[in-house]
Structures are given as structure tokens and as C-alpha cells.
Amino acid sequence: MSHELVVVVDFGAQYGQLIARRVRESRVYCEIWPWSTPLERYRERGVRGIILSGGPASVYAEGAPRVDPGLFRLGIPILGICYGMQLMSLELGGDVRPAAQGEYGKAVLEVTAPDDPLLAGLGPTTQVWMSHGDHVAAPPPGFRVLGRTAATPTAAVGDPERRLYGVQFHPEVVHTVQGKELLENFLFRICGLRGDWTMAEFIDRQVAAIREQIGQGRALCALSGGVDSAVAATLVHRAIGDRLTCLFVDHGLLRKGEAEQVIRTFRDHFHMNLIHVDASERFLRALRGVTDPEEKRKIIGREFIRVFEEEARKLEGIEFLVQGTIYPDVIESGGPTGQAAVIKSHHNVGGLPEDLKFTLVEPLRELFKDEVRAVGRQLGLPEEIVGRHPFPGPGLAIRVLGEVTPEKLAILREADAIFLEEIRAAGLYDQIWQAFAVLPDVRTVGVKGDQRTYAYPIVLRAVTSVDGMTADFFRFPYEVLERIMTRIVGSVPHVNRVVYDITSKPPGTIEWE
């Protein structure tokens, strides 16, 4: 496989991934390498372009990450972004100054060199996103200024001869309106790439890497019913076939029909070795009488580990554990160098006992959710699984407020199923990040026929979001809400009221707990 490879050099923090993702969106294969990567590696791998990412530090800070200055003499085109630009300028003899005050937020870039390939087709002015303290007061010899903002006279610089470029702003964020065009100018006009990489190639590459990592060994994967673990399992199954065993611990807190679907897809359709453990009674027993949300989570995590451990001990000779860790999980756990295992485990697996040691296989670590979905589609996973909204590890236990009982779960499942059915029927499912019903621990008065009722309300929650970190309520057409209300109060026993949660996040969270 000879891909056009572009490398994003990561100086820490979380800047690199978004750049890498933008590059992949432009159909160029992209990897993120640490700043300490030796130069030989760039030659060996035939790197076609280098992007130096932003970073949290000032180039003058003690211990600020540096690259081997030989990087600038490899003849590979380089684009330095923010910190990357400052570092390049410093190494090549420019003047980098700590600013009296930084520049943060939107700014207008004035393109002063429209003839240069980097800013070709942009401008004459265009909105960019700034976030920096230091700035380049004078670019290095051989460079010229390509664009400026009111506060930064050297907002974009370049040396077309050596194909070295720098921008002070962040082309990878959406607030830089023509960021994609700029990055594509770098990739296509400056690096001269074709941009013919596809998800199919990502899969080939990962399959090869998984085969290399696992060798003739065997692997275990816990399926949750969610997208990430489903895609990870399918990818590993493609790589090692029957040497993968999937463990589906059904905690009895899934949505209506979900457990059946997992079994149908993985056992019947993909013919994977699937162990289905119906542990619902055990989980419900453990949750009896518990009302505190944190306590519920703890119990579910603990029971999950116990069941997982019991099952894992029955299987012999398995050294590898497949996890559907995706990039946002890596960020949550404290950056790419942090321990991703900790976070996914916090969500799903938890700490396994010392003597039960696995080597982790995490083929989706570099991907964002929508990229994971694209991989899943390419692997032939059904749309119902691939396009599915995120679902929390503790499942419906955090959507039944107060004590979790089989009766309350049944009410919630029915209402939730109606809600989702109507959303799909209205063609709105894919516009929504997450939609679900919540059963609060209160009852209110209603009237049915001549009868006064005293029953539960159902809360509907539907939000739009890009990453779950912030969210806004989804604007339903009133007719859809009306239909949902009518069906829920008409057919779900013990429910006499339906309300719609219009809280954004922040200050609300997505889940109610």
C-alpha cells in the first residue's frame, strides 16, 4: 500500500487530532506523530507533507517541545500552525516575541499575497480564529508575509522556494471560515498530493496492524450494543476471524429490542463467536432500593466487572482485549499520552483484577464518532447500529430516576420506543445527536375519561451536538411532539403526562440521572 502520507506533529494538548481529521476529510491519509520522532522515520515512511500543530506552550517556556531542526531541511513541505509557526520561525532565524497581550477569538485576515498558493482563492478578506500569546514579529529570512490581521501583521507567512509555511490562526476550527480551502491549498497545491485516500484503505491498514499486533493470539471484545464497540469488534473480526470472542453482558438496562439486535447482527449475520450473558436479574438485584445516581453507576460498574471477569476466566489463552476507544475518549482521559484504557473502562469495563491482564487493542483511537460510523458502514454493519445515537454504559438505570425496578424499566422502554419510532418516521433521527425518554420519580394528577389519575410523567429529551460536550435542544415540529404525546399517554400504562426538556448543555447535562 503506498498512500500519500501527511504527518501532523503533535506538541501536546489536543490540537493535532482535529487537524488530522480535516486532512482525512480531504482524502489524504494522515497520522499524528510525537514531536520527538526521529528524522529517519520521515524518510522511511516517505512523508509527503508535515503539519506542525499548535501547542499549549510558549516557544520560550522551559521544556517547550522542539523538533530536530533538520526537519526543515528534509525538503518536505511544512505548514506550521500557531505554536508550530512560531517554532519554525524561531528555528529558521525569525523574531518571535511574547505578546504583551495575546489575541483570542475571531479576526479578519487580509490576504496580502493572493498569488501565493497557500492563500490562493481566499479573501481578499476572510474570517479566521486566533488563539495565541507569542507572535512572529519578523519572519525568518526567505519568508514573506502572505496575510495579516489588525492585531497580527504576520498572520500568514511562507517561503515558496523551500515550501515552508506558517499561519498564526487555526485553519482546523470551523470559525476559520475558509480553513478547509487553506489546508487543501497546502495539501494539493503545495505538497502536490492527489487526495485519493478512502476509508477502505484505513480499514486495510488497521486490519494489517491488528494482525501484526495479535499474531496467532486470541482476543476478547466486550460488546455493549453501541457503535464504537460494534465497529471495533467487526474490524478485529475481519483481521483475525474466529480468534476473536465477543462477550455481550446484557445488564437488562438496554432499550427495547436492543439485546436481540446485537445477537442477530453479530451471531447470525457476522457469524462471530458471541457469548451472550443475560445478567439482568443480577443487576436488578444489586440495584434494588438504590436511589443515588452515583451509587447506581458504581454498582453497575462493579457488577459489570464481576460478570466480565467470571466469563473471561472461563475462556483460556486470551491475551488481548479489544476496546472501542475513540478519540474523544482519549481526550477525556487527559490527552493522547494519557491512559485511554482508564476512561473507557470507567465507562464500560472498569478495573480488572491484577491477575487478569490483557494487552489492549484499540483500532479506533484516532477517530472521531462520525469517522467511526463511516468505518462501520464500510464494514457492512447495519445502519441501525452504525447510525445509532450514543447510549450510556449504565443504560436505562440513569434514565429511570430513583430506584430502578422492572416495572419502571418497562414503562420507560415503551415510551422510549414510541419516541424513537416517531422520530424515525418523521425522518428526523439523523438530525439529532441523542433522543431518549426519562422516567422521573414523581407522579402527578391527570384525568382519563371520568377518572382522576395519579401517574408518572415522561420527559422527552432530544439534543443536537457535535461531540456531546455542549448541546442544544432539538426544535421539533409541534405536530411531531403532539403525535408522540398522544401515543405515549394513550398506550403506555401508568403515564398521564409528557413534557419536553428544552435545556441546553451547559447548564443542563444531556442525561438526567
For the annotated catalytic residues, the residue numbers are 82, 170, 172
Residue 15 one-letter amino acid: Y
Three-state secondary structure call for residue 28: coil
Grid coordinates representing 276 are 451472550
Q: Which of 390, 402, 440, 446 touches ligand XMP by CB under 6 A?
A: 390
For residue 461, which phi and psi values (nearest 5 degrees)? -130, 125
Q: Using CB under 6 A, which of the segments 234-242, 270-278, 387-395, 496-504 binds ligand XMP?
A: 387-395
Site string for ligand XMP, 453-472 (x = CB under 6 A): ---------------x----
CA triplet 48, 53, 57: central angle to 5 degrees? 150
Q: Counting contacts by CB under 6 A, is residue 306 touching ligand XMP?
A: no
At closest approach, how far in Å is the CB of 513 from ligand XMP? 7
At closest approach, how far in Å is the CB of 505 from ligand XMP? 5
Can you state the percent helix, strand and coil of the chain, rounding each to 5? 35, 25, 40
Alpha-carbon torsion 282, 384, 388, 26, what sign? positive
Q: Using CB under 6 A, which of the segments 23-31, 370-378, 386-394, 411-419 binds ligand XMP?
A: 386-394
Q: How far apart are CA 431 and CA 368, in angstroms?
A: 17
**What is the residue-wise DSSP string for 192-247?**
-------HHHHHHHHHHHHHHHHTT--EEEEE-SSHHHHHHHHHHHHHHGGGEEEE
Question: CA 425 → CA 346, 357, 384, 428, 498, distances in Å?
Answer: 35, 46, 14, 8, 19
Q: Which of 321, 392, 422, 476 touches ligand XMP by CB under 6 A?
A: 392
Cβ proximity of 289 and 250 under 8 Å: no
Helix ranges (DSSP H) in 215-339: 227-240, 258-263, 280-287, 293-314, 327-332
Q: Using CB under 6 A, which of the segments 94-102, 138-146, 168-176, 505-513 binds ligand XMP?
A: 505-513
Q: Counting contacts by CB under 6 A, is residue 68 touching ligand XMP?
A: no
444 vs 470, beta carbon nearer ligand XMP: 470
Q: Using CB under 6 A, which of the segments 166-174, 388-396, 412-420, 476-484 binds ligand XMP?
A: 388-396
Q: Counting contacts by CB under 6 A, is residue 505 touching ligand XMP?
A: yes
Residue 22 CA to chain centroid, in angstroms? Answer: 14
398 vs 418, beta carbon nearer ligand XMP: 398
At closest approach, how far in Å is the CB of 504 from ligand XMP? 11
At closest approach, how far in Å is the CB of 471 from ligand XMP? 7
Q: Counting contacts by CB under 6 A, is residue 249 touching ligand XMP?
A: no
Cβ proximity of 469 and 509 under 8 Å: no
164 vs 343, beta carbon nearer ligand XMP: 343
Q: Which of 147, 171, 394, 457 touches ligand XMP by CB under 6 A?
A: 394
Q: Which of 291, 339, 444, 509 touches ligand XMP by CB under 6 A?
A: 509
Three-state secondary structure call for residue 508: coil
- Burial group, residue 105, by CB count within 10 angstroms (0-12, 13-18, 19+): exposed
Residues 415-444 that bind ligand XMP (CB under 6 A): 434
Grid coordinates representing 396 are 436505562
Residues 331-370 that bind ligand XMP (CB under 6 A): 347
At closest approach, how far in Å is the CB of 470 from ligand XMP? 9
Q: Using CB under 6 A, which of the segments 34-42, 264-272, 413-421, 504-512 binds ligand XMP?
A: 504-512
Q: Which of 393, 409, 414, 474 touches ligand XMP by CB under 6 A?
A: 393
268 vs 370, beta carbon nearer ligand XMP: 370
Q: Counting contacts by CB under 6 A, is residue 225 touching ligand XMP?
A: no
Q: Counting contacts by CB under 6 A, is residue 510 touching ligand XMP?
A: yes
Q: Using CB under 6 A, which of the segments 96-104, 199-207, 208-216, 502-510 binds ligand XMP?
A: 502-510
At closest approach, how far in Å is the CB of 231 from ligand XMP? 15
What is the total count of residues that contact ligand XMP (CB under 6 A)?
A: 11
CA triplet 213, 218, 219: central angle to 5 degrees? 80
What's the per-residue H, E or C state across 378-436? HCCCCHHHHCCCCCCCCHHHHCECCCCCHHHHHHHHHHHHHHHHHHHHCCCHHHCCEEE
At closest approach, how far in Å is the CB of 463 from ligand XMP? 9
Q: Counting contacts by CB under 6 A, is residue 287 touching ligand XMP?
A: no
Residue 191 CA to chain centroid, in angstroms? Answer: 28
Q: How far apart are CA 42 and CA 76, in angstroms?
A: 9
Chain residues in the site for ligand XMP (CB under 6 A)? 347, 390, 392-394, 434, 468, 505, 509-511
